[in-house]
């Protein structure tokens, strides 16, 4: 028998979400998550995946995954520290360290998991964390899990960061203080002000932690935001995901040898959750090899992104202050934004609406994520739909 209290809680809260229009229905894809997707038999130009380089459907990655399944099977069979570490996992970690120009790296089962693991393995109740107010949910949860005092600073506001860091130091209450930021902020596509953050951190003795989930494979010729700013040896934690530009699944920390050694003996998802599957690892290795050999996909991504951005701006849409391929189309009103996204869908473009509470009230947007796999023809078709729907709504 189910608990009455639980049932009441669930029904009340589900109804509240539905009443407020915040209930997210999931529409399954009938096939791969490529530049074109099929939902309910409807073929759509896909502007909503994180598959920046198109690698999720790349034949070279598929071959590597299939080969690994043939050799190792489909599951790792254990956590990393029992006997779930294959030679493949170590090869991936070496490749990740090279890719990020650090001494070592450790792989986790997801980027989310990685933030939960890494923050709580080094920070505790005697410490403080300065966290950008727009940091990703997994950073927020990782900070909470650590039990450190979390002090948020205004988004990319260096004066606020400095003032709060100085306050934390002069309080004398904390043993270690960390500053933590996304490398690329996923709702607006803006970059963290890493050179300034690093200068403040070095001056005040702060630990630096950058989650570059959306920058890896995208900025710095693919190596990420830290490389883009030339700061590779000045950041303590470089976090990445294997699920976006790399096209597979998994997360990682790249950093100094002792840091990685500590995470391998102390971070809980590494110790207590079965390791990445052989197929995921082999496909990720292949992706990193490809990125190391050529910047062609990266160039194609930026070409497509620049083309889409220029097209939307020319049509008169507000695309915000993005510095990356993430291209918001800021509409404002929440209901209007959702209706706009639905009309795009009806006309054959899949671009998800993002509204409050994910972004501030009144800044509802449709977010576009162009990839290297889109053709110019697809982008032109998407722009034609934007023009039609934009005029229909009186937005342009
Ligand atoms: N960090 C950031 C900044 C992200 O945007 C995401 C993905 N939404 C994650 C971590 C989580 O990564 P993953 O999907 O690999 O769990």
- What is this model's ipTM? 0.99
Say if ligand 1 is within 6 A of residue 138 CB: yes
Say if ligand 1 is within 6 A of residue 215 CB: no
Q: Which pair of structure tokens corresponds to residue 139?
A: 């950073």
The catalytic residue among 89, 136, 214, 227 is 214
- Ligand 1, residue 186: give the atom nearest the CA: 5
List phi, psi (to 5°) of 156. Answer: 50, 25
pLDDT in tens, 104-144: 999 999 999 999 999 999 999 999 999 999 999 999 999 99
Cβ neighbours of 266 (radius 10 Å): 14
Q: 112, 151, 119: which is closest to 133 by C-alpha?
A: 151
The catalytic residue among 48, 120, 186, 353 is 186
Say if ligand 1 is within 6 A of residue 209 CB: no
Determine which residue's CA is closest to atom 13 belonging to ligand 1. 111
**Ligand 1 centroid distance, CA of 199 (Å):** 26
Q: 274, 273, 253: which is closest to 263 by C-alpha?
A: 253
- Ligand 1, residue 251: give the atom nearest the CA: 15
pLDDT in tens, 154-211: 999 999 999 999 999 999 999 999 999 999 999 999 999 999 999 999 999 999 999 9
Of 109, 141, 241, 287, which is best to mutate to test ligand 1, by the most ligand atoms within 8 angstroms of its C-beta? 241
Mean pLDDT of the chain: 97
| 193 Cβ neighbours under 8 A, 6+ residues apart | 156, 158
pLDDT in tens, 246-297: 999 999 999 999 999 999 999 999 999 999 999 999 999 999 999 999 999 9
Based on the residue annotation, tell me whether 186 is a catalytic residue of this protein: yes
Residue 40: which region, alpha, beta or left (left: phi > 0; alpha: psi -120 to 50)?
left
Q: Which pair of structure tokens corresponds to residue 373?
A: 């796999």
Based on the residue annotation, tell me whether 59 is a catalytic residue of this protein: no
pTM over 0.90: yes
- Ligand 1, residue 138: give the atom nearest the CA: 10
Q: Which pair of structure tokens corresponds to residue 346?
A: 């009806």
Say if ligand 1 is within 6 A of residue 353 CB: no
Alpha carbon distances (Å) from 262 to 112, 181, 258, 330, 337: 19, 22, 6, 43, 46
**Ligand 1 centroid distance, CA of 160 (Å):** 26
Based on the residue annotation, tell me whether 374 is a catalytic residue of this protein: no
Rounded distance, CA 218 to CA 220, Å? 7
**Alpha-helical regions (H) of the chain:** 4-19, 59-72, 87-100, 111-122, 137-146, 158-171, 194-204, 225-228, 257-266, 268-272, 278-293, 296-315, 334-346, 376-392
Q: Is the peptide bond before 364 cis (omega within 30 degrees of 0)?
A: no
- Ligand 1, residue 139: give the atom nearest the CA: 1
pLDDT on residue 1: 62
What is the pLDDT confidence band of residue 55, given thresholds at 50, 70 and 90?
Answer: very high
First to last CA, the chain: 56
């Amino acid at each position: 028998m189910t608990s009455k209290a639980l049932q009441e809680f669930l029904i009340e809260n589900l109804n509240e979400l539905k009443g407020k229009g915040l209930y997210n229905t999931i529409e399954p894809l009938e096939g791969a998550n490529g530049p074109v997707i099929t939902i309910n038999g409807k073929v759509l130009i896909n502007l909503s995946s994180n598959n920046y380089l198109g690698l999720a459907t790349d034949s070279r990655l598929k071959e590597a995954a299939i080969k690994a399944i043939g050799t190792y099977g489909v599951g790792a069979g254990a956590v990393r520290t029992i006997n779930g570490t294959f030679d493949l996992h170590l090869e991936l970690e070496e490749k990740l360290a090279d890719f990020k120009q650090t001494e070592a790296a450790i792989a986790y089962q997801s980027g989310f998991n990685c933030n939960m693991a890494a923050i709580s393995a080094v920070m505790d109740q005697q410490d403080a964390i300065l966290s950008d107010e727009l940091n990703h949910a997994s950073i927020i949860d990782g900070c909470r899990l650590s039990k450190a005092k979390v002090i948020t600073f205004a988004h990319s506001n260096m004066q606020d960061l400095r003032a709060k860091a100085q306050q934390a130091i002069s309080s004398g209450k904390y043993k270690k203080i960390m500053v933590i930021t996304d490398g690329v902020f996923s709702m607006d596509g803006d970059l963290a002000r890493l050179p300034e953050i690093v200068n403040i951190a070095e001056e005040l003795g702060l630990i630096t932690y950058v989650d570059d989930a959306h920058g890896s494979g995208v900025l710095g010729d693919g190596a990420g935001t830290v490389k883009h700013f030339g700061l590779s040896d000045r950041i303590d934690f470089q976090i990445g995901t294997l699920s976006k530009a790399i096209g597979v699944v998994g997360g990682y920390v790249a950093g100094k040898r002792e840091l990685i050694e500590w995470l391998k003996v102390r971070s809980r998802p590494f110790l207590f959750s079965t390791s990445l599957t052989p197929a995921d690892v082999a496909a990720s290795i292949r992706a990193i090899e490809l990125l190391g050999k050529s910047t062609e996909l990266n160039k194609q991504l930026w070409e497509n992104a620049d083309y889409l951005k220029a097209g939307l701006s020319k049509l008169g849409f507000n695309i915000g202050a993005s510095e990356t391929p993430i291209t918001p189309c800021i509409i404002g009103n929440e209901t209007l934004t959702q209706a706009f996204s639905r009309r795009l869908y009806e006309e054959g473009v899949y671009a998800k609406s993002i509204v409050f509470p994910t972004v501030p009230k009144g800044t509802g947007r449709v977010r576009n994520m162009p990839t290297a796999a889109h053709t110019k023809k697809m982008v032109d078709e998407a722009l034609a739909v934007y023009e039609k729907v934009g005029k229909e709504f009186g937005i342009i």
